Amino acid sequence: MTDFVLNDSDTEVDSDEELQEAFAKGLLKPGLNEEIEKVEKKYINNVADLKTKLKEFKLKLPWIETLDLVTSVAPMAPDVALQIQETAQRRKNIKENNRGLKEYDPSQDPVLNEFKRENLIHRQAQAAVVEGIKKLKELNIPTRRPDDYFAEMAKTDEHMQKVRKNLMAKQAAQARTEKVRQLRDQKKIAKRVQIDAKLKQAAEKKQMLEQLKRVRKGKSADLDFLDDNKGKNNKGKPSLSNRAAKKRASKDKKFGFGGKKKGSKLNTRESSSQMDGFNSSSKKRPTNFKNKNFKPNSKKQQRPGKSKRKNAKR
């Protein structure tokens, strides 16, 4: 019978059951298991040695060869901030509508945190690009973005198109749901207003009938409520006298203000005797007014005699 050997390199690692059997048989004795003393590791921040080592392997290259930049984060665009706020509100509504969940905490939402993280990376890259372009211009190094430049993306264009369609479908569904909700609320409000108006009319009618009943029984002689009710019914309508006056004014405007209209343009004795607007033949404009030497008040020149005309021809 061979003894149980624990540290034999040829044997495989014993299982827990074999170790328990060996311990029960007394084959495991003190001294076979060596305890290792725990030593606490001390961390020393030797700044001088670190700087020395840094100088040894640091490459002294110009900035154009390394293009290293240390910048702050670029400011967030207003539309992005609004989108983050809307996303947080939408996520809050979804979480709060589900029963059995704790109070919504935006800082613990992985979806919202992922969106913020991507936006932070984008803003950091944007600030670095702005600072890098500025330094390149100071060094008089021309820069130009190639016309056929395409950024390598982690996802294909087909996948991004599917994501875009899905987002647009969700936005359309939300807009449709919101519109339906607004229409439903408007119908409820209109119905409530109509019911209130009918209840008010019924209450006024009931009150008037009760007062009329009291008058019939002789308990009251006040009939002012009838005048008040008449004024309420005719509210917004013109009175009879006003309507008649408006009708008379419209007829006067259309047909005149009374009196004889037929034959008003015929001549009378007085109109025939008035010759102020009539031009006599003496006052008419002469026919030879185009002649430059014409004088209206001058006498007409007489034609010379026959003998004088003959002498003039010679």
Which pLDDT score, from 0 to 100, does residue 290 have? 55
Tens digit of each residue's pLDDT (9 = 90 or more) over 205-234: 888 888 888 888 777 777 776 666 655 555
Rounded Cα distance between 23 and 29, Å, is: 8
Specify whether the CB–CB gap between 133 and 143 falls below 8 A. yes
pTM: 0.34
Residues of the chain with confidence (pLDDT) below 50: 1-12
Both structure tokens of 94? 């979804």
In eight-state DSSP terms, residue 15 is: -
First vs last Cα of the chain: how many Å apart?
189
Which pLDDT score, from 0 to 100, does residue 2 have? 45
Task: Tell me which long-range contacts 240-243 makes (C-beta under 8 A, separation of at least 24).
Answer: none
Q: Kindly report the number of other CB atoms within 10 A of residue 76's CB atom.
A: 14
Closest C-alpha among 166, 145, 163, 143 to residue 153:
163
Q: Where are the domains of the chain?
A: 1-36, 62-148
Q: Kindly report the number of other CB atoms within 10 A of residue 214's CB atom.
A: 13
Rounded Cα distance between 62 and 222, Å, is: 107
Both structure tokens of 87? 């996303």
Tell me the average pLDDT of the chain: 77
Tens digit of each residue's pLDDT (9 = 90 or more) over 184-205: 999 999 999 999 999 999 998 8
Specify whether the CB–CB gap between 112 and 88 falls below 8 A. yes
Which pLDDT score, from 0 to 100, does residue 136 have? 92
CA dist 96 to 104, 105, 114, 173, 176, Å? 7, 11, 20, 20, 22
Q: Which residue has the tokens 């390394």?
A: 66
In single-letter form, the type of residue at position 103 comes to E
Rounded Cα distance between 208 and 216, Å, is: 12
Specify whether the CB–CB gap between 71 and 131 falls below 8 A. yes
